[in-house]
Amino acid sequence: MIATDTNILVYAHRSDSTFHQAAAATIRELAEGRAPWAIPWPCLREFYSVCTHPRIFDPPSTPEQACAQIGAWLSSPSSTVLGEGSAHWDWLHGLLLDAQVRGPLVHDAAIAALCLAHGVSELWSVDRDFSRFPALRVRNPMR
């Protein structure tokens, strides 16, 4: 199963992004395909936060636009949302210690832990910080 990181979601949603066309095509391919794909809950929350933030986008997406976009992704029959279960701490604990994670990288470690706990085969992201977690295969679909 493929999971998508926040940055791919933001690029797909924001038509003013340099990477919009490529990201939108990538997400559309996942959403319209039969293969299962996933979005970690932290990525959905971060997507909403980034897209509606007036210091990041001028104008920002409205709450209604951001929620409608999330709803569209979640309505894909092949999509699933990755949430924290009973194994999450075991995965997160290991990643935090192995990669000596501190500060804001905890967010990325939590996403990696969710993906690993749910058997994600590949995370699509343009964030190189995920390279700190070699157990998770990461690919930049924008290349």
The 3-class SS string of 40-101 reads EHHHHHHHHHHHCCCCCCCCCCCHHHHHHHHHHHHCCCCEEEECCCCCHHHHHHHHHHHCCC
**Quick one: CATH architecture of 2-139?**
3-Layer(aba) Sandwich (3.40)
pTM above 0.85, yes or no: yes
Below-50 pLDDT ranges, the chain: none
For position 143, what pLDDT does the model report? Answer: 83
Nearest to 27 by CA among 132, 43, 42: 43
Task: Report pLDDT for 137.
Answer: 97
pLDDT of residue 142: 87
Cα atoms in the 13 Å half-sphere on the side-chain side of 35:
11
Burial 113-128 (b: 16+ CB within 10 A, else e): bbbbbbebeebbbbee
Q: For residue 90, what pLDDT is reported?
A: 95
Nearest alpha-carbon partner for 38 in 115, 126, 127: 115
Contact 11, 20 (CB under 8 A): yes
pLDDT in tens, 65-98: 999 999 999 999 999 999 999 989 999 999 999 9
| 3-class SS shares of the chain: helix, strand, coil, % to 5 | 50, 10, 40
* Tokens standing for residue 47: 């997507």
The amino acid at residue 32 is E
